[in-house]
Chain A
Amino acid sequence: MKIACLCTYPARSETIYPVIDSMINQVDRIYVCLNEFSEIPKKLKRYRNVVPYIPECDYRDVGKFVRSDFSDEDYIFYIDDDIVYPVDYVEKMIHWLDKYSSVDAVVGLHGVIYSDVFLGSVANRKVFSFTKALSEAREVNQLGTGTVCCRGYQAAPLSFMDGSQKFVDVRFARFCKGNSWPMVCVSREAGWLVEMENDETIFNSFTKVWPSSVIKETQSIAGYSKLNVNVSSLLAE
């Protein structure tokens, strides 16, 4: 099965529909974690393959990891509630995932390589933004979980991800590193994905100033020295 997971909150209760509409015909199911909602919106209930749920607490961006009842062979798409995905998104991501299956890679579109001596400044990172072109695939330290594709056995359990609110990408990267699954930022043209405008993002509110606990966690995945040279060679071929 092809399963997408996203999370949202009341301020974006209208903007999620373009997102869902862009994915609904590409996947078999979409899990929608409704943080802080008091009830499930009627409009959401109309989608046959959408499974909305209100969690017992506000998981924020960890909400996309609440459901993990996948079989190993499923294709999982972690998506964001402010990105409109192209019609060929799932097909292409599956293509990349299968292409790099020999190294058990997790693939995505928004990649980050941190400085090997990362001290928490966002300036000390090399970012391959999902909105920009990338001519060749690159192994990275971290993938943005709004544009990740992985297999069911690579889906991170909530028990691991909980507590990483506002730095869920770091935590997921640590999960993959711990399992020796390289993270590959795949090639694409500019503008393949469209990001909707938003007033405040978790990035803006958190990522620019990093608590030391998060820096320490990031250290475990950070740097060119942490990249797998075999994967890098494979990608360079």
Chain B
Amino acid sequence: MAQELGFLLEYANSIRNVQMTSTYVSMIFFAVSRASDGLDQKVKAQLAQHVRNVFLVCQDDAILEALYKRCPSVIGMISLPDKIKEKIRCFPSGLLSKRENVNNLVFDKFDDRDWLAVEDYSSLENWQQVAGLSINHAALCDPGSYPEKLNQFLSKFGLLGVSEVSFSDNVLKGVVFDKGTVVDGDKVSIIMSCYNAGETVAYALRSLLQQTYVNIEILVCDDGSSDNSLAVLKEFSEQDSRVKVYESRSNQGTYNIRNSLIPLCSGKYITFHDSDDLAHPQRIEMQVRHMEDGDYLVSSCKWVRFDKKGNAVFFVDGQMIRFCVVSTMVERSVFSVVPKFRESLVAADTEFHESCLYLLGHSKVGVLDVPLIFGLWGDGSLTKAPGLTAENSGFVAERRREYSEVAARQRVLGSELIADSDVVEVLKSQGIHREFSGVTEVLAV
């Protein structure tokens, strides 16, 4: 069994890598049910890592409880941040690893004003952690130094800095970037959907209109908002002809909107942007250059999430700079190869990106390792919606996991075995399917 367990854990890793999350979780539960304290250290270490992964994604004591019963010595090999440890009920959290872990510390303390005020984090080995904690220290303890700290971070990537940051109810509203050199090139179409984003869509749109790369068009669709979103969009389209406004015929979700608007784009490249995110002024320029220099058909960049107070959000792995799937830019021919976005409320961009990797090959799908978007980490986002959360603790709501699972199965097994109707059935059973309704253009008066 020990040999089989070792093989099973490696196999589980490959299942995890193709995003078959539910299968992965079940496999690790099975592995734990067969484990014993007689396993060799290497297998125990592997098991500990997998159990940690499963616990973080489910945030359910069950896997830890199972491991505690079967193989208690492995519990001491699992290291977790204090914020997460304190939620464990099935055994004393002191049984977990006491080994110091910088990433756990950063996750626990990144927005802790008292800790940031006194702790010397400048000695941390990871410069990105130092930079992020410096920004947060400024946000919470010394707002006057915030632009300087932010600029120190941006300069590491050779990016334009900020000239001013004013704090209000949402820091992203008050960020003013330096002006850069205008860059021209093939047209880039940017698609945005907007639902009750009256408080944020103005800065989101402005950040796109102030791009160094000027040859853009923005197709923005209001998805049946009940606030002043549509009025804000119309105002922008009246001021700048690059903004074209649409309305959903009925509320249909971001991805159905993308499917409606893609055929209406005139750009050589098509990308997307969320209505509460701030684009760095060099975002489009750098992504286009990345695509053309790398001969990619798809380019994505990284982002940093900021809460409304201006804190950079760190995740459970101790990192704040993360892959930004919404930033995906594609050469328009991609849409003749890769299926359209799934009619889901959430996560269809992740599926789309995975499909690009699968169908186009890794050599055609690039990721630019530069944070070009500041994403709002706020309650209005779907990643924070009850029952749909994807948290910085690693937790992914079950409904998202089930969608990820069936979509991954379709990619791996093929649509003959897992038809689109099977995927839609799962979306419906999870309550995240959205009916396509189409859009109508709102013409400027």
B-chain residues with CB within 8 Å of residue A219 when the two chains form the complex: 413, 417
In this assembly, does B66 line the interface, its C-beta being within 8 Å of a C-beta of chain A? Answer: yes
Across-interface contacts of B33 in A (CB, < 8 A): 229-230, 232-233, 236
In the bound complex, CA of A226 to CA of B15 (Å): 14
Number of interface residues of B (CB under 8 A): 27
Distance in Å: Cβ of A198 to nearest Cβ of chain B: 31
Contact status of A224 and B8, CB under 8 A, knowing A116-B15, A215-B417, A232-B34: yes
Q: Is B27 a contact partner of A225 (Cβ separation < 8 A)?
A: yes
Which stretch (B18-26, B143-151, B203-211) binds chain A? Answer: B18-26
**8 Å CB contact of A224 from B22, B30, B417:** B30
Q: How distant is the Cα of A226 from the Cα of B409 in the complex, in angstroms?
A: 15
Q: Are A229 and B413 closer than 8 Å at their CB atoms?
A: no
Closest Cβ of chain B to A105, distance in Å, is: 15
Pairwise interchain contact B22-A225, C-beta atoms closer than 8 A: yes
Residue total for A at the interface (Cβ-Cβ under 8 A): 18
> Does B70 lie at the interface of the complex (its beta carbon under 8 Å from any beta carbon of A)?
yes
Q: Which chain A residues in 195-237 approach chain B with CB under 8 Å?
A: 212, 215-216, 219, 223-227, 229-230, 232-233, 236
Specify which chain A residues have a CB less than 8 angstroms from the CB of B117 in the assembled complex: none
B8 contacts which chain A residues (CB < 8 A)?
Answer: 224
Say how far B411's CB is from chain A's closest CB, in angstroms: 10
- Asked if A229 and B30 sit within 8 Å, CB to CB, the answer is yes
Interface flag for B29 (CB, 8 Å): yes
Give the most central of A224, A230, A233, A236: most B CB within 10 Å: A224
CB atoms of B26 and A224 under 8 A apart: yes
| A236 adjacent to B23 (CB under 8 Å) | no
Complex-state Cα separation, A117 to B412, whole angstroms: 8
For residue A127, CB closer than 8 A to chain B, the reply is: no
What residue in chain B is nearest A136 (Cβ atoms)?
A: B1
Cα distance A220–B361 when bound, in Å?
Answer: 29
Residue A158 is within 8 A (CB to CB) of chain B in the complex? no
| Interface residues of B, dominant DSSP | helix
Among A223, A225, A233, which residue has the most Cβ atoms of chain B within 10 A? A225
Contact between chains at B30 and A119 (CB < 8 Å): no
B416 at the binding interface (Cβ < 8 Å): yes
**A224-B413 in contact (CB<8A):** no
Distance (Å) between the CB of B429 and the closest chain A CB? Answer: 16
Nearest-neighbour CB distance to chain B for A160, whole angstroms, equals 22
Contacts of A230 in B (CB 8 A): 33
List chain A residues, Cβ under 8 A from B409. Answer: 117
Q: Which of A117, A219, A227, A232 has the most CB of B within 10 A?
A: A117
Q: What is the CA–CA distance of A119 and B417 in the complex, to the nearest angstrom?
A: 9
Q: Which of A99-118 contact B (CB under 8 A)?
A: 116-117
The answer to whether B23 and A116 have CB atoms under 8 Å apart is yes
State whether the Cβ of B298 lies closer than 8 Å to any Cβ in chain A: no
Contact across chains for A225 and B30 when beta carbons are under 8 A apart: yes
CA distance A214 to B8 in the complex (A): 25
Given contacts A229-B32, A229-B66, is CB(A117)–CB(B413) below 8 Å?
A: yes
Q: List 11 A-B contacts (CB under 8 A).
A: A116-B23, A116-B27, A117-B409, A117-B413, A216-B417, A219-B417, A223-B26, A224-B8, A225-B27, A229-B66, A232-B30
Q: A224-B27, A236-B33, A236-B36 are in contact. List 9 more A-B contacts (CB 8 A).
A: A116-B15, A117-B412, A119-B417, A212-B417, A223-B23, A223-B27, A229-B66, A232-B33, A233-B70
